[in-house]
Amino acid sequence: MKKVFGYILSPIVIVVFFLTLCIFHPLQWLAYKLGGYSAHKKVVDVLNLCLMRSLYLSGNTTKFINKQHLPEGRPIIFISNHQSMFDIPPLIWYLRKYHAKFISKIELTRGIPSISFNLKYGGAANIDRKDQRQSIMEIVKLGLRMKENKWSAVIFPEGTRSKNGKVKPFRAAGIATILKKCPEALLVPIVIKNSWSVIRYGYYPLNAFTQMQVEVLAPIEPGKTPAEELVLTVENKIRAALGQPAAKPYEGN
């Protein structure tokens, strides 16, 4: 039945989603040119609220749970599992006070209304997966921006989306690079649930009347613990929250 409603409601969501991107593109440009980073960020925050709410038109909702008292004014590396593109708007909106930046494919910086502009000018690390040196340098620059501006980052260490909700092995390289340049960063695991179910049939039809959930888990002080061990700990905390078997030592590296 959800799939049937998906066929009916998905066209509405798709049109509203795309129109939202088109409307906010010139608004971002104006905000950036006239008000700089601060004004641009406020527009991007509202953009992602609107993108998240566009899914409500198909009965899909997002529940955000954060029982942690996270510090402001300190860099944070939010480490999350990844299930669909619909993970991103809630993370940007609900973590907006932490100035969270993403590591994204450089291909996304071209041709997508609103999204490409934000990736170019919002402080993200845009990596070319075919150029390892460029990728490392972009992540290094992100770590330096985090240290200088007290920004945060959201990282999906699986490297790709999980199509069935099962967590893929985490990779530690990107997080290790950031910690070398911004060692004071706090690690915070984030669990995403049911985002994959929204697109279990693809982007048409969207699965209707599904509640996604984003939950912030207890932070981890990195200290002098090797990045590989830290990332494995985060991965297993996320797996435990999803009721999935723990990864074996160093499986995620």
How far is residue 54's CA from residue 61's CA, in Å, rounded to a whole number?
Answer: 10
The pTM of the full predicted model, rounded to 2 decimals, is 0.94
pLDDT in tens, 59-89: 999 999 999 999 999 999 999 999 999 999 9
Looking at residues 103-111, what average pLDDT do you find?
A: 94
CA 105 to chain centre: 13
Looking at residues 235-253, what average pLDDT do you find?
A: 84
pLDDT in tens, 123-171: 999 999 899 999 999 999 999 999 999 999 999 999 889 999 999 999 9
pLDDT at 249: 76
**Domains of the chain from N-terminus onward:** 2-241 (3.40.1130)
pLDDT at 250: 59
Q: What does pLDDT average to over the chain?
A: 95
Q: Concatenate the DSSP letters of all residues of 196-242 into one string.
A: HHHTBTBSSSPPPS-EEEEEE---B--TT--HHHHHHHHHHHHHHHT
